[in-house]
Amino acid sequence: MNEPTSERLTALPSESLLGEKLPKFSGASALVISPGRAQLAEQLLNLGQYQQASAWYLDLFSAATTASCIDPRVEVLCSADLPDQRYDLVAMPVLTKSESELTRDLMQQAHARLVMGGYLAMAVNHAGDQWVHQQMQAMFPKVSCNRSTAGCVYWAQKNVELKKVKNFQAEFSFRDDEHLIRAVSRPGVFAHRRVDVGARQLMRSAEIGPMDHILDMGCGSGTISLAAAKRTRGLVHAVDSNARAIDCLKRSAEWNQLSNVCCHLNADGELDLSQPVDVALANPPYYGDDTIACHFVDVCIKNLRPGGALLVVTKQPRWYHAYFQSKLEEIAIFESSSYFVCCGRKS
């Protein structure tokens, strides 16, 4: 059983603010859409305001990290969309850096998941906020507000279903050699509505044989996986920790009638593939420290066959050159557009 330790962690500013300023609503069930570790869900249970509380995440790593430290009474969920259940409260703290389209998408879903008479409560760590307030006002006839120097808290009661429901899904097409490929993406997925420039460099650089098995590590909306699946009759294993990214790729593979795409929602790198892959492709995030980059490279190498090739696209080639030295052979780095593609083979 997990020890209830998340309350001892520092809550992110907006979640802390919502916990302090939220009126003492009560009911059967509450859903917390947390940018952090869902301390608010524990608070609602500890104060006896709700009989059941859930914490929802798009990202499996975030969900697993929260599940490892939160009170076990809190149900931790990870999925492409909010659970198809009804709640008396949906609490949604957001940060000023949050993606606006994803926020709107989740607000609309939250409204739909509320019981009639239920409350949507939001907080943002910006004292001069107008945007979140405007989004709330577009959905509810009456919105209450508590403003302070720390930020703004809003809440509103649902008394009618929304008349207009926006579809935030985007569909686009792109070419890879002679293939015209259709793709779908949604807010919260890397490279929403477009083919990432770095991904394009990987697609141009990768040499894929007609029967090669491929690993696409951190697939995002899946443009690399789709292109690879058009080039080979082997299996293309697409891996991402974002549940919505995996959902988008499954839809795209079905649209393109690609039965050789295998989607893996995974955050720990334990893929348990049926056989090693011939080529591994990775487009790790460029932000933060090297932890994610190390994870991507290590998982790729673990799943490569001897002699198999790893290609990573980056803007930080020196780090990869150094990291590859003790792990790969035939290392090569070349510039492609404003990026670098780093290559090596498993010994």
Encode pLDDT of 211-248 as tens digits: 999 999 999 999 999 999 999 999 999 999 999 999 99
Domain that holds residue 46: 6-157
- Residue 336 maps to a domain: yes
133 shares a domain with 17: yes
Which residue among 100, 132, 157 closes a domain?
A: 157
302 shares a domain with 280: yes
pLDDT at site 288? 72
- Residue 237 maps to a domain: yes
Domain containing 39 — which CATH number?
A: 3.40.50.150
Other beta carbons within 10 Å of 267:
18
pLDDT at site 1? 40
pLDDT at site 159? 98
139 shares a domain with 198: no
DSSP, collapsed to helix, strand or coil, labels residue 28 as strand
Q: pTM of the entire structure?
A: 0.94
As given in the structure block, the two tokens for residue 30 are: 């509450």
Q: Are 300 and 342 in contact (CB under 8 A)?
A: no
The alpha helices in the chain, defined as continuous H runs, are 13-21, 39-46, 60-67, 100-113, 131-139, 197-205, 223-231, 243-255, 291-303, 317-324
Distances in Å between the alpha carbon of 259 and those of 64, 254, 255, 263? Answer: 30, 7, 10, 11
pLDDT at site 8? 56
Which parts of the chain have pLDDT scores under 70?
1-8
206 shares a domain with 108: no
- Residue 320 maps to a domain: yes
